[in-house]
């Protein structure tokens, strides 16, 4: 069964610093996708970044990058130059590639950016 682990319940970072949110996963399927979502206090779930298991390069989307270490089964989210608006819950999620498969979420990390 697929499993996602986020070991940091909360993180506090100074504005403009870079921050890394940890995510490890477990799956026996060689084909899978890894996702990060942001949930601000308003409640909506916002897609940030995607990494496929066969992608050779780490995914990047603006200030977000995904540090994908396949052998270690980790998919950490890196936010560069953090901003106050980055304060939110962040969820790592995985979906196995067989089709019609559910997206499984980790427990989340609450990130607080201090001015």
Partner 1 sequence: DSGVTQTPKHLITATGQRVTLRCSPRSGDLSVYWYQQSLDQGLQFLIQYYNGEERAKGNILERFSAQQFPDLHSELNLSSLELGDSALYFCASSVGTLGANVLTFGAGSRLTVL
- Residues within the interface to partner 1 (CB under 8 A): 31-33, 35, 37, 43-47, 50, 52, 91, 95-108
- 90 neighbors 21 (Cβ within 8 angstroms): yes
Closest CB 69 distance from partner 1, rounded Å: 19
- Mode of pairing for the β-strands spanning 32-39 and 46-52: antiparallel
C-beta closer to partner 1: residue 16 or 102 = 102
Q: Which residues, in sequence order, are CB contacts of 34 under 8 Å at separation 6+?
A: 23, 25, 50, 51, 52, 53, 66, 68, 75, 92, 93, 94
Closest CB 15 distance from partner 1, rounded Å: 27
Give CA–CA dist 96/89, Å, rounded: 23
C-beta closer to partner 1: residue 13 or 103 = 103
- 27 neighbors 2 (Cβ within 8 angstroms): yes
Closest CB 31 distance from partner 1, rounded Å: 6
C-beta closer to partner 1: residue 10 or 52 = 52
Closest CB 37 distance from partner 1, rounded Å: 8
C-beta closer to partner 1: residue 66 or 108 = 108
């Amino acid at each position: 069964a697929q499993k996602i682990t986020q070991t940091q319940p909360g993180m506090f970072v100074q504005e403009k610093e870079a921050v890394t949110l940890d995510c490890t996963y477990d799956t026996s399927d060689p084909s899978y996708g890894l996702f990060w979502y942001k949930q601000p206090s308003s409640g909506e779930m916002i897609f940030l970044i995607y990494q496929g298991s066969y992608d050779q390069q780490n995914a990047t989307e603006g200030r977000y990058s995904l540090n994908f270490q396949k052998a270690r089964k980790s998919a950490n989210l890196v936010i560069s130059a953090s901003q106050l608006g980055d304060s939110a819950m962040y969820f790592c999620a995985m979906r196995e590639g067989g089709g019609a498969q559910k997206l499984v979420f980790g427990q989340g990390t609450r990130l607080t950016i201090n001015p």
